[in-house]
Amino acid sequence: MHAIADHVVDTYLEVAISVERDAEAMEEEVFTPRSRMRVT
pLDDT over threshold 70, residue 5 = yes
pLDDT over threshold 60, residue 7 = yes
State residue 40's pLDDT score: 66
**What is the pLDDT averaged over residues 9-31?**
92
Q: Which helix (H) or strand (E) holds 20?
A: helix 2-31
Name which residue leads in pLDDT, 29 or 20. Answer: 20
SS3 content of the chain, % helix, strand, coil (to 5): 75, 0, 25
- Predicted TM-score (pTM) above 0.75: no
